[in-house]
Each structure stands twice: as C-alpha cells, then as structure tokens.
C-alpha cells in the first residue's frame, strides 16, 4: 500500500484472506476489530485471530476491496503456480493468485500484478495441497547451492494415484 501510494499512479490494492481465518477481512468490512476464536487454515501466514493495530488503519484506508478464498482455492492456486511457473509458494503466498482467479470477472481488462511470496510450506502439508485426498510420495534431489550454506532443491518428483509429475526449480533451503 505504501509503494502504491508513493508511485502516484492509479494503483489499487485488493486484499485476500483465507475464509477459515477471516478476522482481518471481517474487521476491514466492519471497520472495527472483530477477533475470532480460531484460524483453521493450511495457509499459516494468514492464520490470524485478531487484527494488528499498526496495520489495520492503513488497510482500511488503502485497500479497494477485501475478499476471502477457500482452502481449495488456495490449494488450486498453489498447484497452478507449481505447474505453470515451477515456483513453490506456501498457502499464504498463493492466496493472491487465488483471489485474482476468484475476482477475474471484476478485474478483467485491467493490468494486474500478484505478489508471490514465501515457500515455507511444510512436508506434511504439501502433499494435501498438491493432491488432496490422494496418497502422494515425494523424492527430492539436493545439491549444494552456490554461495549458500544450505542446499538448493534442483529436482522434484511426485507420484500420486498412478500419475507422475516432475519439475525443476531452485529453492534455497537453510539447514
């Protein structure tokens, strides 16, 4: 929002929140704090049960709209990113694309940018996001990353329900 304002261009910002952790979304629409008892989403970067006072005012002033997306919509966006760009995003990182897909009719014909952030998805969550309800096995090859103490994932191979998927991408993994 700060960058959009500083650019002095006509830039609008749309917020997206997991519907099973919607307190910020609900508070934005009500224009008041509406804490929730739970935040049950695999998009743990969006799993908030209350607003943050420091950011709530700027959100109220700076967002054009705020929508929620389902767990399935987030997972579908994660799969689309992985399949088409070979970038692995965590649930919160894929939520922007999920929101864009959900609001595609409203945003049609406009120039749109989606922020893709985070690949902090854990090993237990990833199979359910990629192949919900199916048994998934992952084989990942590692090689030392140049200039990094960690490793770089250079290849991944997933087998689920007799279908195979393969891709190559770089993700720095710190030990």
Q: Vertex 79, ends 75 and 81: CA angle to 5°?
A: 115
| pLDDT above 50 (res 12) | yes
DSSP string, 103-126: THHHHTTS------------TTTH
pTM higher than 0.85? no
Helix or strand holding residue 96 (H, E): helix 91-102
Model confidence pLDDT, tens digit, residues 103-146 = 988 888 888 888 887 777 766 777 677 766 655 554 444 444 45
Model confidence pLDDT, tens digit, residues 24-64 = 999 999 999 999 999 999 888 889 899 888 889 988 988 88
Q: What is the pLDDT of residue 135?
A: 52
Q: What is the pLDDT of residue 110?
A: 83
| pLDDT above 50 (res 71) | yes
Q: What is the pLDDT of residue 52?
A: 87
* Cβ-Cβ contacts under 8 Å for 79 (sequence gap 6 or more): 129, 130
Q: What is the pLDDT of residue 109?
A: 84
Average pLDDT, the chain: 75
Helix or strand holding residue 151 (H, E): strand 151-160
Say what angle helices 91-102 and 71-85 make with each other, to 10 degrees: 100
């Amino acid at each position: 929002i700060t960058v959009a304002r500083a650019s002095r261009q006509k830039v609008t910002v749309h917020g997206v929140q997991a519907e099973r952790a919607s307190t910020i979304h609900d508070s934005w629409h009500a224009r008041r704090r509406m804490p929730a008892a739970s935040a049950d989403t695999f998009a743990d970067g969006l799993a908030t049960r209350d607003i943050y006072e420091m950011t709530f005012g700027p959100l109220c002033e700076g967002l054009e709209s705020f929508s929620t997306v389902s767990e399935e919509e987030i997972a579908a966006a994660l799969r689309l990113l992985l399949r088409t760009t070979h970038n692995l995003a965590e649930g919160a990182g894929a939520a922007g694309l999920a929101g864009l897909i959900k609001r595609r009719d409203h945003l049609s014909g406009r120039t749109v940018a989606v922020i893709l952030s985070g690949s902090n998805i854990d090993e237990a969550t990833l199979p359910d996001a990629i192949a919900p309800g199916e048994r998934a096995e992952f084989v990942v090859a590692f090689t030392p990353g140049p200039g990094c103490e960690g490793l770089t994932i250079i290849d991944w191979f997933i087998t689920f329900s007799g279908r195979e998927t393969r891709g190559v991408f770089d993700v720095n993994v710190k030990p």
